[in-house]
Chain A
Amino acid sequence: MLQLSIFLENAKGRLAEVISLLAECKVNLRALSLADTKDYGVLRIIVDDPEGTALKLRERKVVVSLTPVWVLKVPDRTGGLAEVLNQLVQQDVVVEYMYAFVEKENEQALVVLRVQDKGIMEKAMQTLNLPVL
């Protein structure tokens, strides 16, 4: 799954501007997270058509990068996420960052994972056969 990452300067109203731009492009945000530093932020979003959305944003002079991530279905109960993470750790997967969201139709808990090494993650996923979105 590809995630869209958007560079945002720390300026009043900039986040709202970009989110409105996404609305104008009729993009439905399934999940988002915002990493912030002193001067800028990186907005990370999961959408249905990442490539098409990236194209539209680039036309509007927004800097976007497409990043491969994994979206895993997590059992929605106490310890559900811990179980999944522990399994991944055993397969030597190192997580760069992650964020979670819930799909309301099926009350499904989902986590977006960005890992350090794509190859290791691919192997781990084959071995563990974890449910993905």
Chain B
Amino acid sequence: MDLANNVSQETERTEEQWLEGLRKTVEMVLPIQHYQESYGAIGIKSATDIKSLKDFQKLPLTTKEDLRKNYPFGLFAEPMENIVRLHASSGTTGKPTVVGYTREDITLWARIVANSLKRAGVTKKDVVQIAYGYGLFTGGMGLHYGCEELGAIVVPISGGNTARQLMLMRDFGTTVLACTPSYALYLAESLEESGISRDELKLKIGVFGAEPWTEGMREEIEQRLGIKAYDIYGLSETMGPGVAMECPAHKGLHIDEHFYPEILDEEGNPLAVGERGELVITSLDKKGFPVLRYRTKDLTTLHYGTCSCGQVGWTMDRVSARVDDMLIIRGVNVFPSQIEEAILLEGFEPHYLLVVYRVGNLDQLEVQVEVNETSFFDEVRELEARQQRLHKRIEDVLGISVRIRLVEPKSIPRSEGKAVRVVDKRNKEVK
């Protein structure tokens, strides 16, 4: 066993040990006006007022809205002179949310990501092609610093320019690909048409994240690229990629020891281990922008125990749905991942688009799915039968009827970053 590449294993922590870390974070944020006000309102004046995890769970949650209200730097815990980097989430639904890192934060983050990569079996001998976007988005830079910390060779190619990605993948002998799952699939598809054969590539590992994906999608990517795919989780508000990472056991993602996870129901009440709800994260030891009980809007389940890889601690299931992605169709909650699963099970390609519109007062969901060589049959009857089966499967899962529309291959736009799965035309009609 290569000891130099051992993942640092978490040892079991007692409630008191967790509390110690959590109190430190509370202490860090208390000088900030936003927290002073909200914590003061429930009588928390100092970190020592938190006597138990139960007390901790009484602290108000932090939301994306809180970050926006304090835009841009209102929730930073260090003076600006100590901040060395800013990142921000895309502000598609309003102002961006801005996060700041001190020098120690950057070092810590790099160590966390390096540890995540080790979990997937990445070593300093690997050539890592980072096809996540570089910039305000944490994906590119986060992976980059983690790879350098690990000592691997970084190819900071960023997203896009697919033909070039494939050429360099071959010429540089890339062994690890890091990007979104939808871009990985696009690269696989482009490889088949590029004239570069799979045998010319040394690719063996994929580190994919930044968007929800299903197990079916993983199988599809693994098969088409001939690699092992690992899920990396994180969001800029809590640090970036590396908050949690899969190990070869594929029994969920190990949550890094610098984060304290909770699962809450829709009303914000704590749920037990094993119950599905919204993931809430508190950062430990993060200084520039500590987060306390941050609502990730990601739906998952927490588990605690010892993994077959030897790791002790918290794991979370793969995030296959985000609260924000949820569509409400005729009063029924619909997650794109449920439809993705059905599409893959019926043998169609995972290239789909959900179009929501309204006819009169009734919501309609149209699922556009691409037909390919293997799913296209000359007999209209057979094609219609397949369409019917998909229709039935989706109806069984969702409990509502949707319209399936078969479309030509490559007609749904491919993504070089986070895939666009939903076009909701209802919003426009309301405004």
User: Of A32-40, A80-88, A123-131, which binds chain B?
Assistant: A32-40
Assembly CA distance A85 to B161 (angstroms)? 57
Cβ–Cβ < 8 Å partners of A3 in chain B: 378
Cβ–Cβ < 8 Å partners of A44 in chain B: 378
A114 CB–B CB distance under 8 Å: yes
Find the residue from B371, B381, B408, B410 having the highest chain A CB count within 10 A.
B408
Q: Is the CB of A63 within 8 A of B409?
A: yes
Closest residue to A59 on the B side, CB-wise? B193
Q: Which of B378, B407, B409, B411 contacts A42 (CB 8 A)?
A: B378
Assembly CA distance A17 to B378 (angstroms)? 20
Q: Is the CB of B378 within 8 A of A65?
A: yes
Assembly CA distance A13 to B234 (angstroms)? 46
Cβ–Cβ < 8 Å partners of A58 in chain B: 373
Assembly CA distance A76 to B376 (angstroms)? 35
Assembly CA distance A114 to B381 (angstroms)? 13
Q: Is the CB of B379 within 8 A of A96?
A: yes
Q: How large is the interface on A (under 10, 10 to 19, 20 to 34, 35 or more residues)?
A: 20 to 34
> Chain A's interface: helix, strand, loop or mixed, by majority?
strand
Assembly CA distance A99 to B144 (angstroms)? 61
Task: Report the minimum CB–CB distance from A16 to chain B (whole Å).
Answer: 15
Q: Which of A37, A39, A40, A67 contacts B378 (CB 8 A)?
A: A67
Q: Quick one: CB contact mask for A7-18 with B, threshold 8 Å, 1 for yes?
A: 111000000000
Q: Which of A63, A67, A96, A114 contacts B408 (CB 8 A)?
A: A63
Cβ–Cβ < 8 Å partners of A97 in chain B: 379
B372 CB–A CB distance under 8 Å: yes
Cβ–Cβ < 8 Å partners of B372 in chain A: 63
B304 CB–A CB distance under 8 Å: no
Q: Which of B371, B379, B381, B405 contacts A7 (CB 8 A)?
A: B371
Question: A residues 1-55 with Cβ under 8 Å of B?
Answer: 3, 5, 7-9, 35, 37, 39-40, 42, 44
Closest residue to B384 on the A side, CB-wise? A37
Known interface pairs A63-B372, A63-B373. Does A5 touch B408 (Cβ–Cβ under 8 Å)? no
Assembly CA distance A7 to B410 (angstroms)? 13
Assembly CA distance A67 to B376 (angstroms)? 11
Cβ–Cβ < 8 Å partners of B383 in chain A: 40, 42
Q: Is the CB of B378 within 8 A of A63?
A: no
Q: Is the CB of B380 within 8 A of A42?
A: yes
Closest residue to B380 on the A side, CB-wise? A35
A77 CB–B CB distance under 8 Å: no
Q: Which of A9, A35, A63, A114 contacts B376 (CB 8 A)?
A: A63
Q: Is the CB of B406 within 8 A of A40?
A: yes
Q: Is the CB of A7 within 8 A of B380?
A: no
A104 CB–B CB distance under 8 Å: no
Cβ–Cβ < 8 Å partners of A42 in chain B: 378, 380, 383
B377 CB–A CB distance under 8 Å: yes
Closest residue to A3 on the B side, CB-wise? B378
Cβ–Cβ < 8 Å partners of B407 in chain A: 9, 40
Question: A residues 57-94 with Cβ under 8 Å of B?
Answer: 58, 61, 63-65, 67
Q: Is the CB of B384 within 8 A of A65?
A: no
Task: Report the minimum CB–CB distance from B370 to chain A (whole Å).
Answer: 9
Task: Report the minimum CB–CB distance from B360 to chain A (whole Å).
Answer: 20
Task: Report the minimum CB–CB distance from B322 to chain A (whole Å).
Answer: 30
Closest residue to A61 on the B side, CB-wise? B410
Question: B residues 392-431 with Cβ under 8 Å of A?
Answer: 405-411
Closest residue to B381 on the A side, CB-wise? A96
Cβ–Cβ < 8 Å partners of A7 in chain B: 371, 376, 406, 408
Q: Which of B377, B405, B408, B410 contacts A65 (CB 8 A)?
A: B377
Q: Is the CB of B409 within 8 A of A65?
A: no
Assembly CA distance A39 to B406 (angstroms)? 7
Assembly CA distance A97 to B377 (angstroms)? 14
Task: Report the minimum CB–CB distance from A51 to chain B (whole Å).
Answer: 14
Cβ–Cβ < 8 Å partners of B373 in chain A: 58, 63-65
Cβ–Cβ < 8 Å partners of B406 in chain A: 7, 9, 39-40
Assembly CA distance A88 to B383 (angstroms)? 26
A5-B378, A40-B406, A96-B381 given; name 6 further pairs at CB < 8 Å.
Answer: A7-B408, A9-B407, A9-B411, A61-B409, A65-B376, A67-B378
Q: Spell out A's residues near B (CB within 8 Å).
A: 3, 5, 7-9, 35, 37, 39-40, 42, 44, 58, 61, 63-65, 67, 96-97, 114
27 A-B residue pairings within 8 Å (CB atoms): A5-B378, A7-B371, A7-B376, A7-B408, A9-B407, A9-B408, A9-B411, A35-B380, A39-B405, A40-B371, A40-B383, A40-B407, A42-B378, A42-B383, A44-B378, A61-B410, A63-B371, A63-B376, A63-B408, A63-B409, A64-B373, A65-B373, A65-B376, A67-B378, A96-B379, A96-B381, A114-B378
For the complex of A and B, list the 9 residue pairs with the smallest distance between their C-beta atoms, beginning with the closest: A5-B378, A67-B378, A9-B408, A35-B380, A63-B376, A39-B405, A7-B376, A7-B371, A65-B378
